[in-house]
Amino acid sequence: MEPFSLVAIAVGLLYLAALGCVYRILLTYRTAQGAIAWIIGLLGLPYVAVPLFLLFGRYRFGGYIRARRMGDQALTNLLNRFEQQTTSIPAPADDYFTDELQVLCKLGRQPFTEGNRCTLLRDGEATFEALFEAMENATRYILLEFYIIRSDRVGQRIKAILERKLAQGVQVWFLYDNIGSVWLPRSYLKQLAAAGARVASFGDGNVRRRRFQINFRNHRKLLVCDGVIGFVGGINLGDEYLGTAMDQEPWRDTHCQIEGPAVTGLQLTWLEDWNWASDEFPELDWAPPATQAGNDRVLMLPTGPADDWETCSLFFLNCINNARQRLWISSPYFVPDFQIMNALQLAALRGVDVRVLIPEKSDSWLIGLAAYSYLVQACQTGIKIYRYQPGFMHQKVILVDDRYAAVGTANLDNRSMRLNFEISAVTTAPHFIASVESMLEEDLDNCRLMHECDYNDRSTLFRLSCRAIRLLAPLL
């Protein structure tokens, strides 16, 4: 066959692949802007756009969805049983408040539970101290799930504790994300497995369900010990949160410790992820605690691309649209889509004190620049954007009036809204809300308030760069 014929066949097959991608986009797209951008790229530059679409174009985690629908019936029964344990949320003469929180229950398919104790862990030092203590005190099993795990001092301390507990007969299940933990040495995992831990990578999935899906990441960071104490928040397992990594300033981040029935929701989230990654169904303790740990009402809200709705986007929209006096949000990545930005503007216009805390020093210069492009429209409607000065602020916290607060893993960006598996702990506990308020006030003291001139007075090249990078928001 002549070379020209081979080239023609290759080009034809490439355009057929591009048309197949377009077909998939038309059946599944959620935003017209994103769909149009992909279609133009696929038809205009298929040799570039087709590989990119296969890597980054999908927004639903199809393999996980199929596993959820066809998975272990025991897991389905556990999820359904826990979801049906709805807890009333009394709020005298305030039915709207009750409805607002029940929406969150429906989004996460989990109930608000009573009888919990929720403790704010303000920084890496407090978090690691609590994590180490909980693991040392575990007597039956330890469940870990983290986006980033490093083989540094913190990572080695974790491994040493786990190996010691395994020798004592405690079972350990260790789940990590293969993208976030790409630099974790294989020897680290092999040594844990040799000590008796069950180790699995979320991104690969099990052999039957494996798909080419680099764009979907498990961004959750959680720990459960014996089914009675759990931890969730923004802190990964690494020295950067202690300031001991390469002499850098410590990352500013937040976690929370939960004791009580809400830990069941955290454990169920872990179990669904583990079942996907390993096709195993560990025997865990699902019995309710004999005594109440406290009086806090807590909801565990998992979100991700396998959900029927854009649950993370709806969570933020629900918080923003229902805020009345105050809405304080802390996020290391501020690249909101138009509906989140519009909701923030409307909240500010109706008189809500809207404050967004973002870092001055970002670990992603692209996202740091893109955040500048929102400054003018934010300031014009009264949204206050603060940049945290000392070190990199990585916490994901939201405070809605004096009514509830959330600490978790979700950022104000497209990746958290549509691509990552995330989880947040939401509580109405007054003491926890007061702790979050005090923490954020202290953080605000270490911030500078931004103004329109921070963008308008910069060079034309800078402003063009910010606007151009913002076009990449769906991929950042």
The β-bridge partners of 252 are 393
Cβ–Cβ < 8 Å for 331, 357: yes
Taking Cα atoms as reference points, which of 418, 232, 415, 426 lies closest to residue 333?
Answer: 415
CA atoms within 13 A of residue 366's CA, in its CB half-sphere? 10
Task: Indicate the pairing of strand 384-388 with strand 397-400.
Answer: unpaired
**What SS3 class is residue 179?**
coil
DSSP characters over 384-449: EEEEE-SS-B---EEEETTTEEEEES--BSHIIIIIEEEEEEEE--HHHHHHHHHHHHHHHHTEEE
143: enclosing H helix or E strand: strand 141-146
* Burial class for 224, CB neighbours closer than 10 Å (0-12, 13-18, 19+): buried
DSSP state of 289: P
User: What gap in Å lies between CA 66 and CA 279, rounded to an integer?
Assistant: 13
* Contact status, residue 198 vs residue 278, Cβ threshold 8 Å: yes
Note the Cα 452 to chain centre separation in Å.
30
The residue type at 300: M
**Using CA atoms, how far apart are residues 412 and 335, in angstroms rounded to an integer?**
6
* Cβ-contact 37, 53 below 8 angstroms: no
Task: Name the CA radius of gyration of the chain, rounded.
Answer: 23
Contact 134, 229 (CB under 8 A): yes
Q: Which residues are catalytic?
A: 219, 221, 226, 394, 396, 401
Q: b/e map of 263-280 (b: 16 or more CB within 10 Å)? A: bbbbbbbbbbbbbbbbbe
DSSP code, position 199? E
Closest-CA residue to 232 (of 198, 266, 208): 266
| Block residue for tokens 């009514």 | 403
Q: Given its phi and psi angles, is residue 185 left (phi above 0), alpha (psi -120 to 50 degrees) or beta?
A: beta
